[in-house]
Each structure stands twice: as structure tokens, then as C-alpha cells.
């Protein structure tokens, strides 16, 4: 790894999570260049010392290690594999790390094309939402060559507290699918528990004090149930992006000839919410399914 003074980090995508993640690199003393489609979304980072790049290509030409966290697999493909993308224009010996939740097959394609250009590519999706990003407590699941992972692991440690190498290219994305499948059914249970408590005439906040510390405890119960109770549906993670993730997981499960009834139910419920105009709300807005 180059020294901190010599290393230029590129960051593409400064949304709900990316903003905080990029800031951690500035706080750690790294040179940072950023690009996002809407420059105003990166203004706080620029005010704090980041350098603006006017295109993906410019990031590729400047940076030694590039992190991306964008919206959809189509965005990932454009950023990495387009003519103005990272692989075509990146520096030999550089590292590209996609933290978007995307498809395992695309992760493998990026890895192979990057390798031909002597660029090391890792798929490293994350879990922990806006809170985990802000507090640098993300879980990061990594696929790609182990040597590349070990090389950038110190940088990943700036973003998270649970960084696990999962295996070859695509393994990080497969792990994220397992994560999203677990969350999907859990979110139904969290919402039902809160609404049950309310209908029983209980104080749901008092109920949470008990059940979050017992066998029912989960990240969603501790962090998202309080938001439901307070009517806070601001996105830590967008419903539209969770629907995207569930579609990927459903497709992968189908390829494996695996039944996923819990995931299928959650997907149908979130799709109905999106049809009601809730696609830009946080995933905790599933609570509204029972309220409308």
C-alpha cells in the first residue's frame, strides 16, 4: 500500500451512506477526489477538503484506490465498464472496490475485465444503513482475490468494524443477498410486533425496552422500530433500493431452485408500498402497510 501521503482515494456516489463513508477518509487524513451525478450532494465533502472530479473518467485517472456505492446494477455497469468508466481509464496497479449491492455475475465480469487491465477489483457490499455508515460500524462482505483484499483491508477498517473476506469474485454479493433475505422477513416481524403492541394498548417504547434485549433482538428492532413509533420514515436505506436487492436475491434463488417464501412475501409487500408512492421512504415505512 502506498503511504497515506501518496495515496489518492476516489469515491463515486455520495448519497445517504456514501457521504459519511467518504468523510471518514478525509478524517483519516487521505487525499480524496469525489464524483457524483449531482455536484451539490458532494458539497459538504468539498467544503471539508475533498477535490471534485467532473467525471468517472477523471476519478479513474487520478485515484489509486476507488470506492463506489451507487444505485443499481445498471449504474455499476456504466461506472465500471463504460467507455468513460473505471476499467477503461484506470491506472495499472490501482484498486477498485464496489460497495453497491449488485449482482454476483456483474461482480465477476468486472473482476475479469479489470484483471486484463492489471487493476484489482473487489465486490464489497455493506450492511448497517445510514447509522453504520455515519458511525463507521459497517459490516463489509468482500469478494475477489485475497491478496487484493489484504492490501486494502486497512482502508476498509476505516469504514467498518466487521470486515470479512468471503471468497472469489461475486462472493461478497452472494453474502449480501443472504443478509437481505434475513432482513426481509425480519422487517415483517418487527412491524407486526410494534403494531400488535399498539393494538394491545401497550406503550410500544416500553415494549421495545424489553424485547430488544431478549431472543427477538435484531438490528432492525433496535434501530428501525423506534423510527416507526416516532413516525420517522426518512431513508437510512430506500425502499426502492431494497426492492432492487430483493429482486436480485429472488433471481439468484431461482437459479439455485430454492424456495424463498419469506423473501417473496416481503417483496410483494414492499412493491405494494412503492405503488402507493413510498419508494423513496426508508425500509421502516413497511409499518405503513398495516396503516393504509
Q: Which residue segments constitute the domains of the chain, with CATH numbers given?
A: 8-169 (3.40.50.720), 174-290 (1.10.1040.10)
Say how many residues make up the chain: 292
Q: Among 272, 268, 273, which residue's Cα sits nearest to residue 284?
A: 273
pLDDT at position 1: 58
Q: Determine the Cα–Cα distance for residues 12 and 36; give it in Å rounded to an integer.
A: 6
- Helical H segments across the chain, by residue range: 18-27, 43-47, 56-62, 73-81, 86-89, 104-116, 129-134, 146-159, 171-199, 204-211, 219-223, 225-229, 239-255, 261-273
pLDDT at 3 (0 to 100): 75
pLDDT for position 213 = 96
Task: Determine the Cα–Cα distance for residues 255 and 211; give it in Å rounded to an integer.
Answer: 37
Q: pLDDT tens for the chain, 292 residues: list them.
A: 567 878 999 999 998 899 999 999 999 999 999 999 999 999 999 999 999 999 999 999 999 999 999 999 999 999 999 999 999 999 999 999 999 999 999 999 999 999 999 999 999 999 998 899 999 999 999 999 999 999 999 999 999 999 999 999 999 999 999 999 999 999 999 999 999 999 999 999 999 999 999 999 999 999 999 999 999 999 989 999 999 999 999 999 999 999 999 999 999 999 999 999 999 999 999 999 998 6
Q: What Cα–Cα distance (Å) separates residue 44 from each residue in 18, 125, 174?
A: 12, 24, 33
Q: What is the per-residue pLDDT for 54?
A: 96
Give the burial class of 66: count Cβ atoms within 10 A of its Cβ; 0-12 exposed, 13-18 middle, 19 or more buried: buried
Active-site positions read: 176
Amino acid at each position: 500500500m502506498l503511504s497515506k501521503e501518496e495515496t489518492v482515494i476516489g469515491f463515486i456516489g455520495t448519497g445517504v451512506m456514501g457521504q459519511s463513508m467518504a468523510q471518514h477518509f478525509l478524517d483519516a487524513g487521505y487525499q480524496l477526489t469525489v464524483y457524483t451525478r449531482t455536484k451539490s450532494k458532494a458539497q459538504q465533502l468539498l467544503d471539508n477538503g475533498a477535490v471534485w472530479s467532473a467525471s468517472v473518467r477523471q476519478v479513474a485517472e487520478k485515484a489509486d484506490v476507488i470506492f463506489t456505492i451507487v444505485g443499481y446494477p445498471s449504474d455499476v455497469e456504466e461506472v465500471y465498464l463504460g467507455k468513460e468508466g473505471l476499467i477503461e481509464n484506470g491506472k495499472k496497479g490501482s484498486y477498485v472496490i464496489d460497495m453497491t449491492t449488485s449482482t454476483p455475475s456483474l461482480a465477476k465480469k468486472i473482476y475479469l475485465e479489470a484483471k486484463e487491465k492489471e487493476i484489482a477489483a473487489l465486490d464489497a457490499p455493506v450492511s448497517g444503513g445510514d447509522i453504520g455508515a455515519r458511525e463507521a460500524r459497517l459490516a463489509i462482505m468482500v469478494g475477489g482475490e485475497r491478496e487484493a483484499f489484504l492490501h486494502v483491508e486497512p482502508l476498509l477498517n476505516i469504514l467498518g468494524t466487521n470486515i470479512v473476506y468471503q471468497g472469489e469474485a461475486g462472493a461478497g454479493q452472494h453474502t449480501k443477498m443472504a443478509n437481505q433475505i434475513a432482513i426481509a422477513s425480519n422487517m415483517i416481524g418487527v412491524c407486526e410486533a410494534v403494531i400488535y403492541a399498539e393494538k394491545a394498548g401497550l406503550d410500544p417504547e416500553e415494549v421495545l425496552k424489553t424485547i430488544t434485549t431478549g431472543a427477538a433482538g435484531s438490528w432492525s428492532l433496535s434501530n428501525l422500530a423506534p423510527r416507526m413509533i416516532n413516525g420517522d420514515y426518512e431513508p437510512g436505506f430506500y425502499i426502492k433500493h431494497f426492492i432492487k436487492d430483493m429482486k436480485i436475491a429472488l433471481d439468484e434463488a431461482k437459479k439455485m431452485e430454492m424456495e424463498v417464501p419469506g423473501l417473496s412475501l416481503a417483496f410483494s409487500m414492499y412493491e405494494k408500498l412503492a405503488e402507493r408512492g413510498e419508494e423513496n421512504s426508508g425500509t421502516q415505512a413497511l409499518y405503513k402497510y398495516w396503516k393504509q
